[in-house]
Chains A and B, each alone.
Chain A
Amino acid sequence: MEGGATIRDMNNAAVEGGATGCFNKEKIMSIDVFSILIFVGSLTAGFLGALTGLGGGVVIVPLLTLVFGVDIRYAIGASLVSVIATSSSAAAAYVKEGFSNIRLGMFLEMATTFGALIGATLAGMISTQIIAVIFGIVLLYSAYLSTRGHSPATTADTPDFLANSLHLDSSYPSSNGLVSYHVRAIPTGFSLMFLAGALSGLLGIGSGSVKVLAMDQAMHVPFKVSTTTSNFMIGVTAAASAGIYLTRGYIDPGLAMPVMLGVVLGSLFGSRVLVSSKPRLLRIIFAGVILVLGLEMIYNGLMGWL
């Protein structure tokens, strides 16, 4: 990754010089070149995101703001749109396999969509510097989570009263036939989901890592069920913020176009490769990239450059 400082200086120079284009005012790149570069960047992000299971959405905003000098509000709008696209195409594949728990997903979506409304509303009220810093913290947290891996969930053996009355317990297919499981800690999971939704609405990301944490760690949902259910929830949560973003003019068609097409194609390729290999090294490298981007976001946010 190139140093953010040089590009930022060029942007500052462009602004001071009165030019409106991104990058250097002497060498203002055309929309053609700009779109192709962003397409390639988003393709890579989508590919690595699907391959490593970390999600590509989380690196789109740093890529657009730090590398391409895009205002964070446009970046969040474009990222949110790509999140809906990847979630929907991945969920289309998962839902047929029978792992997702539709009742659990719908129940928790009450928390995530409401949180997303709050988050997207807050995004219009707080300064872009603070948003950049929060974004950086979430990136650092995602990098930390991804290196830690997941501990095999100890499934609760005794039914929880609330889970039972809400019909949240279910089963999933395995090589030994259907495995049934119990869900627990509904209030904790529901609160964490509200937080995941708020972060999604505030930052234009899927918040998949917080969603899996809530289901995997707090509610003791089996890992495969929590990842697939979380994936189907991400699109619905993002749609709740998208309406507000569209109304507020954050979603720019010229920018969202290469981002969306790139991320969709990239994650399509990435999910094909995923079946055959387990890219541990790639996962560590990608986590490293997320870590650096997180620090860069916090630094730029604190300095007021974003």
Chain B
Amino acid sequence: MNHKKTAISDARIDEIIGNLLRAGVIISSLIVLIGGGLYLTRHGTEAPDYHIFHGEPSDLRNVLGIMKEVSTFSSRGMIQFGLLVLIATPVMRVLFTVVSFTIQRDRVYVGVTLIVLAVLLFSLSGASR
């Protein structure tokens, strides 16, 4: 290993990252499952409409809109919120890696990871209006 030994071992960091990822998938799946149950109860007998692309309504395209939908117990809004938690999971993972490289005082990789984080946040910035 080239990097310096520090108080927090690599194995411990790997364990935390593993748990973080698992928690993200489980929590988002549960939210999607609850929203999906509601969705099928309310709209199950309607006809699906995916052959022609319309795009989602604007409330389901950004974080604030999705929150608004969730507060009105919209089933589609709840599923979308679950998907948002899922998308946030790898972002949290990168954020955590920034922290772990900072603890290890690996400046090059703090920089590398911050660049990756910036690209992710840029992509999500369109959705956070």
Contacts and interface: CB of A to CB of B under 8 A. Distances in A.
- Chain B contact residues: helix, strand, loop or mixed: helix
Contacts of A35: 36, 40, 44
A106 interface: yes
Interface string B34-57: 011001100111111111111111
Interface of B: 1-3, 11, 14-15, 17-19, 21-22, 24-25, 28-29, 32-33, 35-36, 39-40, 43-57, 60-62, 76-77, 79-80, 83-84, 86-87, 89-91, 93-94, 97, 106, 108-109, 112-113, 115-116, 119-120, 122-127
B53 A73 contact: yes
A68 B126 contact: no
A248 B55 contact: yes
Contact of A22 (B11, B39, B51): B51
* Contact count band on A: 35 or more
A28 B45 CA distance: 10
Contact of A254 (B76, B119, B120): B76
Contact of A239 (B79, B80, B90): B90
B40 A32 contact: yes
A158 to B, nearest CB: 16
A236 B90 contact: yes
A167 B116 contact: no
A102 B51 contact: no
Given A22-B50, A84-B86, A247-B61, A89 B123 contact: no
